[in-house]
Amino acid sequence: MVIKFSKHKHGNQLLEILLNEKDFVSIQYLIQKLKISRRSVFYLIKNVNNELAEKNYLEINNIKDTGYYLPNETKELLENYDFSDNNNFLADLNIHDRRNLLVLELIDSNHLSLNEMVNIFGVSKNTILRDLQNTRLELKKYNINIKNTQLGKIITGKEIDIRSWVYKNIFDLYNFLKFDINSKNKKKISDKLFLLEQITGNYFTDNARISLIYFINWYLKRIFKGHYLNNSKNLDNNPTSLEKTWAMSFLNEIGIFNNSESEFLTKIVKSAPFHQINLSNPLVNKLYPIAKQIINKFSDFSKINIYSKKLINDLTIHLTSTYYRILYGFVYNQPGLTNIKNEYSQIFELTQIAIQPFIKFIGKPISMDEISLISLYLGGGLRANKLFQKKRTQKKKAVLIVCSSGIGTSRILFNILSEKYPNVYFKTPINNTQYEEINLKNIALIISTINTNAREGIPIVQVAAFPSSYDLNLIDSMLIKTNLKDSKKIDPKRYDIEALLDIISKHARILEPKELKTELRKYLLTTVSTNNAQKEINNNIKYPLKDAYHLMNLLSSSHIQFKNYISNWKSAIYYSLKPLVLDHSVEKSYPIAIINLLKELGPYMVIGDNILLAHAKKTNGVNKLSFSLLLLKKPIFLPNSKKPIKLIIGLAPIDNAKHLPALAELMKLIQYKNWLNNLFKCENTQQLLKFLNKV
């Protein structure tokens, strides 16, 4: 039968295949039938599953090494629907991701016509032309061009430059490349990397390992398509290096006998970040005294002695991979590093002076991102020194930070927490492997950015590496519970302002955070005092409508909904924002962006008991400033969270300011338990509208 359910290109065809097949369907079969790439099939399944979840249907399932199937219940329900088939499932990508994927598709394809690009991404020709214009400018930095031919657009440039672009953007391309690898190849590459670690004694960070797996998989596929480097004589300064021997063996096993390719793979694995290295390496012996010099210079200029053996070892390990990246011309680009220079400007400036011995040793300039990473180590040493002096006299309990690698972005979390809680002793971050072996004596609390097993009854808080206001509030409460922080020092007004700043920063760059905090504080202080506000809310007194940006002016009655039950959290997000989609306040991509953020960062959008503020960036598809509200009789639960959610407030910001008055009103309202309890007592939409009209 003909299915007309999905709005994504090939979506209905996918459902028809699964509906008509009694057995499992392999990924290869779907690629053949749909005539799209493996990556596109995975994207399609993901987006069709989102559509099924929105209708509370059971989703397409996959049995490992067997195939895909559609539950019988879903098969029966699909027969009753008739929707038009339009829109491309890649149309929901933001501009940055779309342009990155556009370049990757051009690299992986022999050629693409303008019409083919329009069909792939589901956007207009003008949009594709703008994307091409912008990507051309970016690619010129890598000596890569996009040229026109009779068959379509093609990528031109040296093979090494094309690979360098992919390697530099590996973190941004991660979500695309992971769909291009099957479990067999993933395990094979992972095993080979483990073997390399055993041979060399150099162990990759967790993030580096994952990135290497996906990059090497892409790299091997590219070779098998005929994109070889010209075979040359052995140019490696150390032709008998263990890494080179490993690379040659790895490539020879799969039929690749090319010295240039062996050298390329050698450079890639040498440039990846490590969390442990072989101290007998000759390069390490040279970098160790340089790390000492850098730390001593930083201590001299900062007037604080940060010298410690652990810091020297950690910095030496980091400088080892840094050396190879600079030597081989690989640009390091990791999300989050661009803000370090501004956030920690003094430490950054001191680092620029202190690293001169390393610059002299390598004989090449160092990028801002690389300097930012080094500044994290030195800044961490600076704070560790201050805390160590306090620890010697006070003998306080410590907080242990556990991250995926123990270095890199984990030090950003360490710096943020050390600065926010100067009287709390935070231990230098460690990775999960080290955590399983470390002695936890004097540890009162564990803060982790990954799933971590509990040990010895010590409480664990899981947060994002770049903590949101929700994460910080959670940490704050746990510090109080573990007697590491005095509860009397909490200032409720401060949390309102921090929560507002957290939301603003997701949608716009804050140029003057101190001035913005002052203005927000003034705004909050001009509202009704706490004592009178409680009385007014209990008596159902209305607030005066000051302007168009009043909460109830933005929250129209058509945007207010009541629902007894929604089966899962994704459907609840879709349903809560449905009114904004229907009146074109937001695009269909907006709720998807919110769902992806919650999957990636966890329940950071929870702003109070039973309340979720569902929001994303303006660039994720906001057309008009608007709010929505969904009250649930039966709560839903977010992934990896035990907190019930009964009220979902949708926020669609159009800039960095216009939503603030309404948001401030909302933040004040949800502080009052009586108001919330009365709200939760509403039994239908009519009661809910009547209650909210009193605000």
Other CB atoms within 10 Å distance of the CB of residue 191: 10
Q: Is the pLDDT of residue 251 over 90?
A: yes
CATH 1.10.10.10 fits 95-157, yes or no: yes
Average of per-residue pLDDT across 161-178: 83
The pLDDT confidence band at residue 498, using thresholds 50, 70 and 90, is: low
Strand partners, 316: none
The token pair that represents 430 in the structure block: 């460690």
Question: What is the average pLDDT score of the chain?
Answer: 79
Query: How far is it, in rounded angstroms, from Cα 689 to Cα 681?
Result: 13
Q: Which pLDDT value is given to residue 543?
A: 32
The stretch 561-584 carries a mean pLDDT of 92
Q: Which CATH number does 11-78 carry?
A: 1.10.10.10
Closest CA to 597 of 569, 559, 632, 628: 569
Question: What are the φ and ψ backbone dihedral angles of 204, each rounded to 5 degrees?
Answer: -75, 155
DSSP summary character for residue 597: H
As a whole number of angstroms, the distance between CA 174 and CA 169 comes to 8
Q: What is the pLDDT of residue 424?
A: 85
Distance CA 187, CA 224 (A): 19
Closest CA to 550 of 662, 664, 666, 650: 662
Higher pLDDT, 662 or 466: 662
The answer, as to whether pTM is greater than 0.95, is: no
Please name which of 85, 105, 93, 83 lies closest in space to residue 39, comparing C-alpha atoms: 105
177-272 CATH, one of 1.10.1790, 1.10.3470, 1.20.120, 1.10.1760: 1.10.1790
Q: What percent of the chain has a predicted confidence (pLDDT) above 70?
A: 78
- Whether 11-78 shares its CATH topology with 95-157 is answered yes
Q: Identify residue 27 by its one-letter amino acid code.
A: I
Strand 644-652 to 626-637 pairing = antiparallel
**Whole-angstrom distance, CA of residue 57 vs CA of residue 73:** 8
**Band of the pLDDT at 536, cuts 50, 70, 90?**
very low
Whole-number pLDDT of residue 654: 83
Between β-strands 203-204 and 153-156, what pairing exists: parallel, antiparallel or unpaired? unpaired
Band (pLDDT 50/70/90 cuts) for residue 5 is: confident
Domain covering 524-692: architecture: 3-Layer(aba) Sandwich (3.40)
Helices (H) and strands (E) in the chain, counts: 31, 16
Strand 274-276 with 153-156, pairing? unpaired
- pLDDT average, residue stretch 244-260: 93
Assign 529 a pLDDT band (cuts: 50, 70, 90). Answer: very low
Q: CA-CA distance, 481 to 470, in Å (whole number)?
A: 17
Domain ranges, ordered by start, for the chain: 11-78, 95-157, 177-272, 282-382, 396-490, 524-692
Beta-carbon count within 10 A of 480 CB: 15
Q: Is 108 helix (H, G, I), strand (E, B) or coil?
A: helix
Highest mean pLDDT among 13-22, 409-418, 685-694: 685-694
Read off the pLDDT band of 404 (50, 70, 90). Answer: low
| Distance, CA of 123 to CA of 114 (rounded, Å) | 11
pLDDT of residue 540: 32
Superfamily of domain 396-490: Response regulator (3.40.50.2300)
